[in-house]
Amino acid sequence: MRLITSFLILPAILMTSSLTLAHEGAEGVIQERMDLMSNFSKSVKTLSAMMKGNTAYDANIVRNEAGKIAASSGKHITGLFPENSLSVESEATLAIWKDWPAFERYAMDLEITAKGLVQAADNTGSSEAGGVNSLLGLTAAPGTPAAATMPLTVEALASMPAQEVFGKMTQNCSGCHKKFRMEKD
Amino acid sequence: MRSAWGVFALFIATGAAFLIWMFMPIQASQPAITLTGDPARGAYLARMSGCIACHTNEEKASGILAGGAALESPFGVFAAPNITLSPEHGLGRWSIDDFATAVRQGISPQGRPYYPAFPYQFYSGFSDQDIADLWSVLPRVPVVDAPDPATDIRFPFSIRAGLKPWQRLFGAPVAASPVSGQSADYNRGRFIVEGPAHCAACHTPRNMAGALKTQSWFAGTTLLPGGENAPAIDARSLSANGWTVADLAYALQTGITPQGDVLGGSMAEVILGGTQFLTEEDRRAMAIYLLAEP
């Protein structure tokens, strides 16, 4: 097993190190996007504490944090991923550039859902789900194929409960991480 | 001379015993199931068990339960087959008893053992009612008449004859039955975590033969298909990393960690395709069980 792993890992290391050499100037961009992601996580931490009920719900804070995410998503994200910009510290995978349109979609949907959350911040209350069809993904349950085919709009999101919009936003994070991030720990 | 014959006879006898052991049917016969299933309960259990997550290729949108995405492992490429009721390519010609044997014992209607990529070891505790509930879901799912997604299992693992001894040696059911003296939440969590949710399938390391290392339960592994890591989720590691019951239950719903990160990798698939559909109480029970020191 160990032998198999080293066979798998060695080319990966060689590949990433040669990529780093090939993109000497990329360190700035990589650092920048790592900072961007950690800023997102700070906002999500604040928001999730509220959604969980650990801290009191405050629509102003929701607007503020969601606004920060919206302002640095979309083209801000894609602009920080020039082709094949990888390094040892980076958790990004080559799949990003193999399937750029999908990556771009996630970046844009983050902007849309974050903007939607800004507008939905006053909509307290929760959504209900259930029934065989929604359990089976035959209706648009979040994160299912039926939901994926429905285009998101800020207007549609604005009328949904904030709780649900937050869920859509973080599911977008999750979908992107699933496809394009190496899980290092 | 006599001793030479003795050795020869012993050799033949051992060989014969080995062949019987290797080729004798391994399925235990079970009484026929006549119960009526509840599709709502079945769909819930299918979410909990990862049936839908694994047998559906979300990206290709080829249809619910019509076959999953490729899973690259050190043994080759696996993909969960089409389990819609297609007569040609799915379970259209199966009986409920075929289904029960497949799910609980990992054996096809033709008597062929399944690869442990299908985590039947964790489903062996399903009751007849559970099986009937799951079975009643399939008529609700649109039939997709498409062949199974391609697999590419590496030699020598491609020899299915090797699977019977594997099942005998390593295919024992994973214990998920209640522990007396523990709370109802703990035991519900234990049933979900060790049974249908099959957390150990990824979070417990495997030996060279792909069998779970029972001594290192939930110790995590760096050898997941696709080169992913699965972190340790034993109670000590979780507590050391600052997880609480509320955090864990919330992460199973949303993928959001206490640090504000959102989990990716195959855990995202587990959450999006599975645990987000569970009730708050069930996610909490899972967290209570996981965080309870053994």
The residues, ordered by sequence, that sit 6+ positions from A177 with a Cβ below 8 Å of its Cβ are A183, B262, B263, B264, B265, B268
Alpha carbons within 13 angstroms on the beta-carbon side of residue B53 total: 25
ipTM: 0.71
Confidence grade of residue B237 (pLDDT, cut at 50, 70, 90): very high
Confidence grade of residue B1 (pLDDT, cut at 50, 70, 90): low
Predicted pLDDT at B131 = 97
Predicted pLDDT at A19 = 44
For B159-210, how does the pLDDT look when each residue is reduced to its tens digit (9 = 90+)? 888 888 888 888 888 888 999 999 999 999 999 999 999 999 999 999 888 8
How many angstroms away from the CA of B113 is the closest CA of chain A? 24
Across the interface, do A136 and B137 touch by the CB < 8 Å criterion?
yes
Given B47, B140, B265, which is nearest A183 (Cβ)? Answer: B265
Across the interface, do A41 and B227 touch by the CB < 8 Å criterion?
no
Given B43, B228, B268, which is nearest A174 (Cβ)? Answer: B268
CATH number of B184-291: 1.10.760
The residues, ordered by sequence, that sit 6+ positions from B129 with a Cβ below 8 Å of its Cβ are B35, B37
B24 vs A15, more confident: B24
Q: How far is CA B238 from CA B68, B218, B229, B293, in A?
A: 30, 10, 16, 10
Given B47, B64, B272, which is nearest A174 (Cβ)? Answer: B272
- Determine which of A61, A144, A165 to mutate to test the interface with B (most B C-beta atoms within 10 Å): A144
Query: Which residues of chain A does B272 touch, with a Cβ-Cβ cutoff of 8 Å?
Result: 142-144, 171, 174-175, 178
Predicted pLDDT at B147 = 94
Given B47, B61, B268, which is nearest A175 (Cβ)? Answer: B268
Above 60 in pLDDT, residue A144? Answer: no
For B106-160, how does the pLDDT look when each residue is reduced to its tens digit (9 = 90+)? 999 999 999 999 999 999 999 999 999 999 999 999 999 999 998 898 888 888 8
- Summary mean pLDDT of chain B: 90
For B45-102, how does the pLDDT look when each residue is reduced to its tens digit (9 = 90+)? 999 999 999 999 988 888 999 999 888 888 889 999 999 999 999 999 999 999 999 9
Query: Which residues of chain B does A183 touch, with a Cβ-Cβ cutoff of 8 Å?
Result: 228-229, 263-265, 267
Q: What is the pTM of this model?
A: 0.81
Taking Cα atoms as reference points, which of B78, B198, B27 lies closest to residue B126?
B198
Taking Cα atoms as reference points, which of A51, A120, A69, A96 lies closest to residue B251?
A51
Across the interface, do B208 and A8 touch by the CB < 8 Å criterion?
no
The residue extents of the domains of chain B are: 39-171, 184-291
Q: Is residue A175 a contact partner of residue B272, using CB atoms and an 8 Å limit?
A: yes
Size of the A and B interface in Cβ pairs below 8 Å? 122
Across the interface, do A40 and B260 touch by the CB < 8 Å criterion?
yes
Across the interface, do A174 and B273 touch by the CB < 8 Å criterion?
no
- Determine which of B222, B256, B270 to mutate to test the interface with A (most A C-beta atoms within 10 Å): B256
Task: Establish if B179 touches chain A: CB-CB under 8 angstroms.
Answer: no
The residues, ordered by sequence, that sit 6+ positions from B22 with a Cβ below 8 Å of its Cβ are B161, B164, B165
Q: What angle do CA B180, B182, B185 make, to 5 degrees?
A: 125
CATH fold of A29-123+152-180 reads Four Helix Bundle (Hemerythrin (Met), subunit A) (1.20.120)
Predicted pLDDT at A8 = 46
For A89-103, how does the pLDDT look when each residue is reduced to its tens digit (9 = 90+)? 888 999 999 999 999
Please give the structure tokens belonging to residue A57. Answer: 């719900």
Predicted pLDDT at B223 = 76
Predicted pLDDT at A152 = 82
Query: Which residues of chain B does A133 touch, with a Cβ-Cβ cutoff of 8 Å?
Result: 140
The residue extents of the domains of chain A are: 29-123+152-180
For A148-161, how does the pLDDT look when each residue is reduced to its tens digit (9 = 90+)? 555 789 999 999 99
The residues, ordered by sequence, that sit 6+ positions from B170 with a Cβ below 8 Å of its Cβ are B116, B209, B210, B211, B212
- Summary mean pLDDT of chain A: 82
Taking Cα atoms as reference points, which of B145, B123, B119 lies closest to residue B133?
B123
Say which amino acid occupies B125.
Answer: G
Across the interface, do A141 and B228 touch by the CB < 8 Å criterion?
no
